[in-house]
Amino acid sequence: MIQTTNGKKLWAVGGGKGGIGKSIFTLGLAISLAHLGKKVILMDADLGGANLHTLMGVRYPAHTLEDFLLKRVENLEDIVLDTQIAGIGLICGADDILGAANPTYSQKIRVLGQIESLPADFVLLDLGAGTSYNTLDFFNYSPGKIAVFTSQATSLQNVYGFLKNSLFRKISREFPKDEYVLWLLYQSGSKSPEVKVESINDLLTHLQRKDEYRHEELLQLLRDFQVLLVVNMIKTDRDFQAAQIIQHVSHRFLELAPQVLGHLHYDQAVEQAVNQMVPFPLNADKSRAAEELKDIAQVIIDKFAPPPSLREAVDQKEEEAAAGGSWSSFWRRAPA
């Protein structure tokens, strides 16, 4: 049973490994949320490997993130494409040309600065594979964090590495001037460490001895680092254990307590949809994976509805539109 926490509008979906269903899940979640009456903006944050638009059946996106990164357009909202699915807007990922796949720090800040005020109930980021700083920063910046993985050993290994790298990056960014914390983090990765730091618990123990205040700050950071787990491509009951394994190692080594958001069975309907370029589960809403996505969307709405302050942007724009204001809603723009 998921513990209720603060509402969250911005969600990032990561997992470390490629081909384990991050994009399928993010898209399926967006469609399920939209079917439940929510407005969703999907952003393809797989910089360099963007393919969310393909899964959505869009061959030639009119705008991509590149237009925003290279300042061809001023507002992130202006590159949101209308889609064939009512209630879903899409920001297509950037390609590798002109270096847009590897944005500078200031470009990234520009994206992050505008992302949470996009006019939607939920903004979902589909992250790329690997643990590049860009991917980790998008994950860390998002209040809603979802890690997708399968029960395969390689996926378990990568999702754990992804969580660990995200957390270490978070700590090093939150304690940038604390030489001692940075030194302890360095010890944990060193082949010949000067002190034993094999887990975050070891780090906490050292820190407590040295600086009670910093120790408390780190504990708070760990409490705030809430990750939800989704096991994908379940084939047998044994595959459910994958979530427990990640919960166990996250607790044992990282002092994190990720909760299980849900699971998706392996479902041929997913593959068929991909091959036909029909966004899953649009034409397959009776399939098993579609039902599971619906359950997950409902949990997100029930437990994590965004706080009213983050809804204001949507409400205000809707009012303006209703009053015949100049704002032209992207929900009504021509399909991409």
Ligand X SMILES: Nc1ncnc2c1ncn2[C@@H]1O[C@H](COP(=O)(O)OP(=O)(O)O)[C@@H](O)[C@H]1O
* x-marked contacts with ligand X along 120-159 as a string, rule CB under 6 A: ---------x------------------------------
Instruction: Tell me if 80 sits within 8 A of 89, measured CB to CB.
Output: yes
Taking the least distance from each CB to ligand X, the nearer of 166 and 188 is: 166
Taking the least distance from each CB to ligand X, the nearer of 9 and 17 is: 17
Tell me: cis bond preceding 281? Omega within 30 of 0 counts.
yes
Taking the least distance from each CB to Mg ion, the nearer of 23 and 142 is: 23
Shortest spacing between CB 267 and ligand X, in angstroms: 4
d(CA 17, CA 131): 9
Among Mg ion, ligand X, none, partner that 270 touches (CB below 5 to 8 angstroms by kind): ligand X
For residue 127, give the H/E element and its range. strand 122-127
Among Mg ion, ligand X, none, partner that 150 touches (CB below 5 to 8 angstroms by kind): none
- 17-76 residues near Mg ion, rule: CB under 5 A: 22-23
Taken as a whole, the chain contains a residue count of: 336
Q: Which position among 233, 249, 297, 300 is part of the footprint of ligand X (CB under 6 A)?
A: 233
Give DSSP secondary structure letters for 299-318.
Answer: HHHHHHPPPHHHHHHHHHHH
Residue listed under structure tokens 């990568």: 158
What the block records as the tokens of 111 is 């994206």
Taking the least distance from each CB to Mg ion, the nearer of 7 and 21 is: 21
Applying CB under 5 A, the span of 14-22, 200-208, 296-304, 314-322 interacting with Mg ion comes to 14-22
Of residues 304, 286, 284, the one with CA closest to residue 296: 304
CA distances from 46 to 23, 50, 130, 217, 229 (A): 9, 5, 10, 32, 19
Taking the least distance from each CB to ligand X, the nearer of 274 and 282 is: 274
Shortest spacing between CB 282 and ligand X, in angstroms: 15
User: What residues contact residue 260 under an 8 Å CB cut-off, 6+ apart?
Assistant: 2, 228, 229, 230, 231, 243, 247
Shortest spacing between CB 71 and Mg ion, in angstroms: 26
Taking the least distance from each CB to ligand X, the nearer of 218 and 264 is: 264
Shortest spacing between CB 214 and ligand X, in angstroms: 36
Of residues 228, 235, 284, the one with CA closest to residue 258: 228
The verdict on 267 binding ligand X (CB under 6 A) reads: yes
Q: Footprint of ligand X on this chain (CB under 6 A)?
A: 18-24, 129, 232-233, 264, 266-267, 270-271, 274, 289
Q: Footprint of Mg ion on this chain (CB under 5 A)?
A: 22-23
